[in-house]
Amino acid sequence: MRIILLGPPGAGKGTQAVRLVERLGIPQLSTGDMLRAAVAAGTPIGLKAKAIMDTGQLVSDDVVVGIVADRIEEEDARKGFILDGFPRTTYQAEQLEAITSPGHIDLAIYLEIPTEVVLGRLAGRRVCTECGTNYSPQSPPKAGTRCDVCGGEVVQRKDDTEGAIRRRLTLYEQETAPLIAWYQGHDKLVTVDAVGHPDEVNARLIRAIDDRRQAIPVPPPARPTRTTNA
């Protein structure tokens, strides 16, 4: 399946994508993670993206579409993927249609959540600088500021400051929220309540995905090709 997770910063897209990877056996394609990896590696894209990301603005459409187009071509994404943080503009959604053609997106899941919940989550989020594992005040790293998974340093993200969070939320409303209606218009949208324990939210997502799977018509078996004997 090809799934999009839509929702404001802090809705839990990354948290849920990781759980869905385990469940569905398809990769998470997070543009935020890919861009942060480019920044850490000091690539030309990373050098350009760093200041934009730190201040909570959007990286240019063409750069992000290019990254996704390349990633979708990789072997592990052939049987499906979970897009986390992409598309974020109508232009990106249109380009996604073009780069996945003649395939298609099966489902866009909108993680619905009140702004005050998001603000609390982002203020409390800490991430591992090495492997990207997320922590919250409810589930902090067991070893203080060291990651449980890899031992890396656990810090606050540069774009989780008050000013950057405000800018990200404003941009979300202006640029990304219109995609909810866009995917509704394409009959791809399912809304899921993103408030509650991550396991409860995940159970809602799995139900939404299973419902959509059952609604997808099974293609008829391919007819055997005729061989002609000389």
DSSP state of 201: H
With beta carbons less than 8 A apart as the criterion, state whether 30 and 77 touch. Answer: no
Q: Using CB under 6 A as the criterion, what x/- string covers residues 179-208 for binding ligand AP5?
A: -----------------xxx--x-------
Considering only the stretches 37-45, 85-93, 94-102, 221-229, report the one whose residues sit in contact with ligand AP5 under the rule CB under 6 A: 85-93
CB of 202 to ligand AP5, least distance (A): 9
Q: Using CB under 6 A as the criterion, what x/- string covers residues 10-29 for binding ligand AP5?
A: xxxxxx--------------
Decide if 88 is catalytic. yes
Please identify, using beta-carbon distances, which residue of 139 and 213 lies nearer to ligand AP5.
Answer: 139
Q: Rule CB under 6 A: say whether 132 interacts with ligand AP5.
A: no
Please identify, using beta-carbon distances, which residue of 107 and 141 lies nearer to ligand AP5.
Answer: 141
With beta carbons less than 8 A apart as the criterion, state whether 126 and 154 touch. Answer: yes
Please identify, using beta-carbon distances, which residue of 16 and 189 lies nearer to ligand AP5.
Answer: 16
**Which helix or strand (DSSP H or E) is residue 134 part of?**
strand 134-135
Q: What are phi and psi for residue 5, nearest 5 degrees?
A: -105, 115
Q: Please, which contacts does 48-56 make with residues 24 or more away whose CB atoms are closer than 8 Å?
A: 53/158, 53/159, 54/158, 54/159, 54/164, 55/159, 55/163, 55/164, 55/167, 56/159, 56/163, 56/164, 56/165, 56/166, 56/167, 56/168, 56/171
Among 105, 159, 179, 205, binds ligand AP5 (CB under 6 A): 159
Residues 101-130 that bind ligand AP5 (CB under 6 A): 121, 125
Measured distance CA(199)–CA(65) in Å, rounded: 31
DSSP β-bridge partners for residue 192: 111
Among 86, 110, 183, 204, binds ligand AP5 (CB under 6 A): 86
Decide if 142 is catalytic. no
Q: Rule CB under 6 A: say whether 58 interacts with ligand AP5.
A: yes
DSSP state of 173: I
Decide if 207 is catalytic. no
Decide if 158 is catalytic. no
Residue ranges in contact with ligand AP5 by CB under 6 A:
7, 9-15, 31-32, 35, 52-53, 56-59, 64, 85-86, 88, 92, 121, 125, 134, 136, 159, 168, 196-198, 201
